[in-house]
Structure 1
Amino acid sequence: MSGVSGLMTGTLEHLRRPLVRNIKKGQRVLILSDTEHDPRVWQAIMTILADIEADATLCLFSRRPADYYDPPAAVCEAMMKSDVNVLCSSTGMLHCAASLRSMEAGIPSICLDGGMRLEWLQSGAIADDMKQIAVRKHYVGKNVFGEGAKTCRVTSRYGTDFTYSVENMVWIPPLPGPEFDPYKIINFQKDENRPAGKLYYYLYPTGEFNVAPIEGTANGKLVIDLTMHHLGKLSSPIELTVENGRVVKIDGGADARILRDFLATYGDDNAYMCPAEASVGVNAKAVIRGIQREDKNIMGTMHFGLGTNVDVGGSIMSKIHMDGVILEPTLYVDGVKRIEDGRFLVPIEGEG
């Protein structure tokens, strides 16, 4: 299984917290994983669920060809008969059609998919203060963007010069109150004050402020320089030329070739919509791992999506969703610089 071996060492406290907060004795829990994922992760989850005395079932299947692809049909069916679905596959499944159906039916997902190894679930992004992440998300919404934000421009040292409209698309999540539980499954429309369909899940590691720009408004050069879904850590930057919200050209080295081939093989017409999201990382402990689940949360980064964006308040549905991360972006909102080379120029830890 992906050549992963070794003892299960270190604390599992960070992995344990969302499971014990949200799963009760006797509940039916379905764990979804694949044969390329670190098996120690699902083994640890099964051990924790045994402690809770949940009725746990493991579904282990071959790796899906791309993020947002459904698991096998039998697993899709089982997801609708579970009380909680735990996603820990090497591809992202939180927003696949089967997961969206189960959440719409009121069955929550606990998600740590995307290829996290057990060691990475003991440090880094997962170890940050989850309540403070909620504080930062509020102040990024309020101070970086603001409810009246209209136009964003992003630049970077690698040649990004990219504009898009966010008019009426910025939703500011509330500050966490005294009753806030940072490990509770989230109903996004109710708890985060943003339209997001019937999304009902807990995601970890986490730490991003999501924005879905208005479709068709983006233009310019977008250069992804750190990490991208499916490709992992990039060996060379990928330059996307975007016209009226669509990728029309992909330039660069080997990684650009891989992306072109991947979109042609696994994508659809909507896979070239860009940016499906334009989000900001707000996790103070996230480090570069070379996978999306961690890297896009790094404080001050921005990541830009291709494809589906109904999960962050947009209207696009695609067979895939792919995020690409810029490590040290500069962001202007309505002409005012708010992030410079990955550093926030406005308060995000509190009123300041």
Structure 2
Amino acid sequence: MKDLLLMKGARRLVTVCGNLKAGEEVVIVTDFATMDVAEAVAKAALEISDNVNVLVMPVRTIDGQEPPAPIAAAMKKADLIFTPVKHSITHTFAVRDALGEGARAIMLTQYNTTMLERGGVFGDFAGIEPLCRKVGELLGAADKVRLTTPNGTDLTLSVKDRPSNPHCGIVRQPGDFTTVPNIETSSSPVLGSAEGVIVADASVPYYGIGVLEEPIRFTVKNGRVSKIEGGRQARELDKLLAKQGAPEVYNIAQISFGLNPDCPMEGVMLHDEGVYGTSHIGIGTSVLLGGEVKTLTHFDALMWQPTLELDGKVVLRDGDWLLPEASVIDGTRAAA
């Protein structure tokens, strides 16, 4: 009976999000920690296409580590890729190269079977898409960005001439990639432009940290984190990054906004990052986001109630978008 429950979510991944067509080549990259999810997705995909390949690799040691070369090669031949893995391979050359060859990709980091039964995968992807793309349009046209929160975040940066990345939970065209279910829109700051303070008060859903016991404060200078302060979780993160021995792991790589009201905040990456009304700052690798930095890892620091100013105009205040496209979500929340 459990399998029947999983198939409802798996079919949404394959049909609503992946737009799989008969005869397309599907590559499912997984590891020994997430094979239950891979199996459910494979079953759903086999209902549409006979060309379904499940490739199993050892669990990566850290988020951002490249997959093995044979798997990277297979990804470049795919029409549609799913990545149910424990540690993220999203910010890797393997994914970037596969997209360059025309693959569509849906990233499923830290996916567990419960996420196929409830939560963000059942969100209204098509209904939220106009807001997702509008935020992308605004970021793509902006230069100066200021992000603030009631808990002390005050970060400025530039996204001038940077591409925006609307991840609306749907892939249609060759080269499209998205994360599911965390509908989000992001941009990568101009290298070295970020200055100020980030106070993560929601989650750092990487490295086993999860929902925060107390805020983590990041001081940012010349586009990099220069100091990490806080309690036990802050100390763990500080120690892990220092161990990498690469200054680029402190790069401010991304500014992003969660847009899926069906995502809960629970310490799971693809739910946390999609929570409507939150923002996150990505730190480390930026090459898949329009930046220049490829380093050993990438992680995100999430915060509640962000206010976003683009070239002096407030478009998001305390987690509420001041945009007509947000009315669909506001109506959904009011009816809930």
TM range, normalised to the smaller chain? 0.7 to 0.9
SS in 1 for 2:3: coil
Residues in 2 aligned to 1:81 and 1:346: alpha-carbon distance in whole angstroms: 40
Query: After the TM superposition, which residues 202-351 of structure 1 pair with which residues of structure 2 at under 5 Å, given as runs?
Result: 202-228=178-204, 229-230=206-207, 231-266=209-244, 268-274=246-252, 276-349=253-326
Give runs of aligned pairs for residues 124-135 of structure 1, distance below 5 A. 124-135=119-130
> Could you say if the C-alpha distance between residues 14 and 185 of structure 1 is closer, same or farther in structure 2, counting changes exceeding 3 Å?
farther
TM-score by length of 1: 0.81
Q: Which runs of 5+ in 2 are unaligned?
A: 331-336
C-alpha RMSD over aligned residues: 2.8
CA distance in structure 2 between the aligned counterparts of 1:206 and 1:185, rounded to whole angstroms:
17
Of 175, 180, 185, which aligns to 2:172? 185
Whole-angstrom distance in 1 between the partners of 2:130 and 2:265: 23
Deviation per CA, 1:61-114, whole angstroms, max 9, x where unpaired? 3211111212233323433454443211011113322222222222333322x2
* Maintained 8 Å contact 1:139/1:350: no
AA aligned opposite 2:200: I
- The 3-state SS of whatever aligns with 1:283 is coil
Query: Which of 308-317 and 60-69 deviates more?
Result: 308-317
| CA displacement at 1:322 relative to structure 2 | 1.1
Q: Secondary structure at the match of 1:52?
A: coil
Deviations 1:224-263 (A, max 9, x none): 1112232222222211110111111111111112212222
Q: 1:169-184 residue pairs with structure 2 within 5 A?
A: 169=162, 171=164, 183-184=170-171
CA gap 1:89/1:165 in 2 versus in 1, 3 angstroms: same
Distance 1:336 1:49, change over 3 A: closer
Counterpart-to-counterpart distance in 2, 1:11 and 1:184: 21
C-alpha contact 1:17 1:183 (8 A) present in aligned 2: no
TM-score (norm 2): 0.85
Q: CA deviation at 1:57?
A: 3.0
Residues 141-164 of structure 1: CA distance to partner in whole angstroms, max 9, x if unpaired?
45xx46653322222232212211
CA–CA separation in structure 2 for the residues paired with 1:222 and 1:17:
35
1:268-287: CA deviation from partner (whole Å, max 9, x where unpaired): 3321111x111111212221
1:297 aligned counterpart, secondary structure: coil
Structure 2 distance, partners of 1:138, 1:100, is: 21
- More strand as a share of residues: 2
Residue 139 and residue 75 in structure 1: after superposition, are their counterparts in 2 closer, same or farther (change >3 A)? Answer: closer
Distance in 2 (CA, whole Å) between partners of 1:140 and 1:78 is: 34
Listed as ranges, the matches of 1:34-49 within 5 Å are: 34-37=31-34, 39-49=35-45
Aligned partner of 1:52 in structure 2 is: 48
Displacement of 1:326 in angstroms is 0.7
The residue type paired with residue 83 of structure 2 is L
Rounded to whole Å, the distance in 2 between the matches of 1:68 and 1:133 is 28
Q: Is the 2:182–2:258 Cα contact (8 Å) retained in structure 1?
A: no
Give the percent of matched residue pairs that are identical in Structure 1 and Structure 2: 30
Residues 66, 266 of structure 1: 8 Å contact kept? no
Q: Could you tell me how far apart the structure 1 residues matched to 2:127 and 2:182 are?
A: 12
Tell me what 2:333 maps to: none
**Greater helix percent: which structure?**
2
- Which amino acid letter does the alignment assign opposite residue 185 of structure 1? R
For the 8 Å contact 2:77–2:101, the answer to whether it is kept is no
Report deviation, 1:24: 4.3
Matched letter for residue 222 of structure 1: I
Aligned residue number for residue 71 of structure 2: 75
Q: Which runs of 5+ in 1 are unaligned?
A: 1-5, 177-181, 188-198
Deviation by residue 1:192-251 (Cα, 9 ceiling, x = unmatched): xxxxxxx43343213111122222111111111112232222222211110111111111
Distance 1:320 1:267, change over 3 A: farther
Equivalents in 2 of 1:148, 1:43: separation in Å? 41
